[in-house]
Amino acid sequence: MSLSVSAYGDIDNIEHWPDEALRSWQAERLTEVVEWARDRVPFYRTLWSQAGLGDIACDSIEDVRQFPIINKQSLIDAGSEWVAGSLARVGFSTRGTSGEPLVVWLSAEEEDVYIVPTIRGFRWAGFEKGQTALLMSPVWHRLAACESHAVVRMGGRCAFFWGSLGLQFAGEFLSTLRTARPDFLTTTAPFILALVKYGEENGLPLPDLFRSVRAIVAVGLPLTPRTREYIRDRLGVSDVFERGGTQEGAAIDECRFHEFGHVHEDVCYLEILDSSGRPVAHGERGRLVVTKLTPTGSIFVRYDTGDIAAFAAEPCRCGCTFRRLKIFGRPESSVEVSGRMITAYDVRLCVENDPALVGRNVLLIRPEKRSSGTLSIAIEGVEHDTVATRSRLCEQFGVGDARVVWLGSIRVAWGFRQVIDGREVGLGS
């Protein structure tokens, strides 16, 4: 069987295809991926054979639901049985936020396919020929590796700052911002939020520094509407777009309406499932399961990312027919209180109802007991209207009690970690 990424050569305007045509095209890609995996990847061959799916095809979108769901640990345990046949040149590591990291392989053919949605997302965010983009390091993530290719193919220039996406490199980032005068910026949301705080604490004229920047594309943390406004206003940029994606192949970009991100359905097929593995209705939350549509690189068929997500219930006003999706968090960025899973995103949304608290880092505090009926959170900075904040938390999340720890002068860097142990802020034993 030959590599079938050539199917991507003739899909102009796919983001406007009618749903039926898009699903039919995706089913063809799924068939190729399943055949490829069965032929080349011992892990899937064995798994599917044991599930009685030894020669079952995947002729329609619905057929994919027959295949067992896999997770990261099963791939780590499979080792070379999974990696075999990847034909890939470059490996990236997942962040290891849910335990061990996983090496994911990207092939040149697959990258070529993923550059197309990167260009699409950048076009939605307003990037134009002749502009300069200050980009994340290409070694950070497989989607970041596609970014410089997308910019150059669009006729732009790429600039990179020295260091990594931690606050200790804020000076290097700002230095490049001054000299490169980029029109466009890609970064992580935790980094840009930390940068706002750093700039304000050090009296830096952030709007001046960001004057050339028309749009920021941020990844790594779901943005609340008020956080988006906060970044936009503090930096004086016209627009902030959220980009989503996983090393396992999910790729999501917002259009100008910002309501939910559009899934790039030419590269991935995403499902959102309940705890029994059944699809949830649009608008309801469930677990995000990814199938990559390219039969090359590391193969992911029905991979449970651990993310909590929901599809938008309505089509988008922008005219793109790709389904829209929001990722709200992961189990490790959530706590269970009174039997209910509460994400850090939801808590930020609630806390930010008070304008004075917008832009502050909010961390969930892990309950000491599973049966706890108290939602505990830590908020950066000085105390502000504790009674009203607790009341809002109790009302919104239906919990018996809420506790707020004000971190005062304790410095908390915005990061991907959103749940802490109470002992880290002086609570509990």
Partner 1 sequence: MPGRDANLFFDVPGATLRFSSSDLEQWAEHLAWCYGVLGLRGGCTLAVQDFGNSPLSFLGSAMLMPGLERGVAEHLGGRFICLDASAERVTLTPALLTQVSVDALVVRADVMGLLDAELAKKARGREPMRMPQMIVALGLDDPPPRGDSRNLRYLLNEPAKMLMAPRCPSCSAFHLRGGFYDLDGAVIRNLRYRCEPFEVPGAEILRPGFCGSQDSGLRFSAGEGDSKSP
Binding site for partner 1 (CB under 8 A): 76, 79, 83, 88-93, 95-96, 100-103, 105-106, 108, 111, 132, 136-140, 144-145, 148-149, 151-153, 156-166, 172, 175-176, 179-180
In this complex, which beta carbon is closest to partner 1, that of residue 72 or of residue 226?
A: 72
CB of 359 to partner 1, least distance (A): 23
Q: 179 or 353, CB closer to partner 1?
A: 179
Q: Which is nearer to partner 1, 155 or 225 (CB)?
A: 155
DSSP 285-335: EEEEEEEE--SSSS--SSEEEEEEEEE-SS--TT---S-EEEEEE-GGGEE
Do residues 249 and 292 touch, judged by C-beta distance below 8 A?
A: yes
Residue 339 CB neighbour total at 10 angstroms = 8
Q: In the complex, what is the shortest distance from the CB of residue 404 to partner 1, in angstroms, rounded to a whole number?
A: 28
Closest approach of partner 1 to the CB of residue 378, in Å? 21
Spatial distance between the Cα atoms of 140 and 220, rounded to a whole number of angstroms = 12
For the record, the structure tokens of 294 come out as 């390219």
Q: For residues 25 and 160, which CB has a smaller minimum distance to partner 1 in the complex?
A: 160
- Please spell the DSSP secondary structure of 250-296, one letter per residue: -EEEE-TT-SSEEE-TTTEEEEEE-TTSPBPPTTSEEEEEEEE--SS
User: Least Å distance between CB 220 and partner 1?
Assistant: 12
CB of 153 to partner 1, least distance (A): 7
Three-state secondary-structure class, residue 397? helix
- Distance linking the first and last C-alpha atoms of the chain: 60
User: What sign has the CA pseudo-torsion 59, 61, 66, 70?
Assistant: positive
Q: For partner 1, give the closer residue by CB, 166 or 398.
A: 166
Query: Taking a C-beta distance cutoff of 8 angstroms, is the pair 310, 283 a contact?
Result: yes
CA distances 385 to 8, 261, 396, 403, Å, are 55, 34, 17, 12
Q: Between residues 111 and 307, which has the closer beta carbon with respect to partner 1?
A: 111
What is the nearest approach in angstroms of partner 1 to the Cβ of residue 142?
Answer: 9
Residue 204 or 358 with smaller CB distance to partner 1: 204
CB of 347 to partner 1, least distance (A): 23
